Amino acid sequence: MNFKLKNIPSQKGRVAIITGANNGIGFETTLAMAKYGFKTIMACRNLAKAEKAKAAILEKIQNADLDILQLDLSDFKSVETFAENFKNKYDRLDILINNAGVLIYSGKKNKAGIELQFATNHLGHFLLTNLLLEKMPDNSASRIVALSSLAHKEAEIYFDDLNCEEIEDKGAAYGQSKLANLIFADELNRRLKKRNKKIIALAVHPGGSDSGLFDEMSKIKYYTFKILSPFILHSNASAAKPSLFAALSPEVKGGEYFGPQGFMEFRGKVGVAKRSNYSKREDVAIKLWQLSEEMTSQTFL
């Protein structure tokens, strides 16, 4: 792969949305996209934190073209309102980076009684993406990037127990949600191709970084993680590189999956990532798509 992020020409005139743009990997992705000249929409749940992040970016890039629109991915009404607000303000969308995510161990649910990680990480992005597709130019520079995780490898979609209430593993729900991100990107790309669309959908994982997702760990795990993290993880800026590569490289194709290539895929140069055999199953992808339509009360593609 010869593509270098430092060689990206000005993207002025193009529009990008980044969910979860106010901290961690989302912040670093937003900073980079602003540097490249994108009109960058920061889709964030907490407006105060978003304003603080915007100010921090403007300190580094004075001419950054940023806008904040509120989005709570766990609330489907909020997703619909965000999409409507965006469509009223902008006539195009070139890049959608579905970055936001939550990792919890407490069995929380959204207003509809859906396990919070599945609702936020997958269903909210599923709904958002499909509502915004009509604004994307039909060319290969239009990208939908889904952030999956190494956690997808041990997961499956628990169709008979989506809330993971019968599963002892506290991390199962998170793994399921990140697996769903990867499967959704694959199935979306297949459906776009069937309709002869040139828009590209693909997935990435950021490797290992202290992105703020780990606050609900037990104290022992949390402090162990903090001690080891400098030796096995990379920075949030490095963790943002797979997303930027997927969004901007002319070398990528739809349905691909990228991530770091170093030690245990935690860090290193961006390349084709390893995925589980389960994640490749089209029967699971079709079933997940249909279920997602039912749960969001919307039919797409």
In this model, does residue 171 exceed pLDDT 60?
yes
Q: How confident is the model at residue 235 (pLDDT cuts 50, 70, 90)?
A: confident
Distance between CA atoms of 200 and 259, rounded to whole angstroms? 17
Burial (CB count <10 Å: 0-12, 13-18, 19+), residue 178: buried
CATH of region 6-296? 3.40.50.720
In this model, does residue 157 exceed pLDDT 70?
yes
Lowest mean pLDDT among 136-140, 194-198, 216-220, 277-281: 216-220
| Residues marked as catalytic | 174
Lowest mean pLDDT among 58-62, 104-108, 174-178, 269-273: 104-108
Q: With contact defined as beta carbons under 8 Å apart, do 260 and 270 qualify?
A: yes
Q: Is the dihedral of CA 156, 160, 163, 168 positive or negative?
A: negative
Distance between CA atoms of 284 and 221, rounded to whole angstroms? 33
pLDDT of residue 273: 97
pLDDT of residue 224: 47
pLDDT digits (tens, 9 = 90+) for 204-232: 999 876 655 455 555 555 444 454 555 45
Domain ranges of the chain: 6-296
Structure tokens at 38: 């994108």
pLDDT of residue 234: 59
Structure tokens at 153: 């490898």
When the pLDDT of each residue in the chain is averaged and rounded to a whole number, the result is 92
- Tell me the one-letter amino acid at 218: S
56 contact partners, CB below 8 Å, separation of at least 6: 27
pLDDT digits (tens, 9 = 90+) for 48-89: 999 999 999 999 999 999 999 999 999 999 999 999 999 999
Residues 180-190: what's their mean pLDDT? 98
Residues 18-34: what's their mean pLDDT? 97
Residues 247-274: what's their mean pLDDT? 93
pLDDT of residue 4: 83
pLDDT of residue 287: 98
pLDDT of residue 84: 98
pLDDT of residue 232: 57
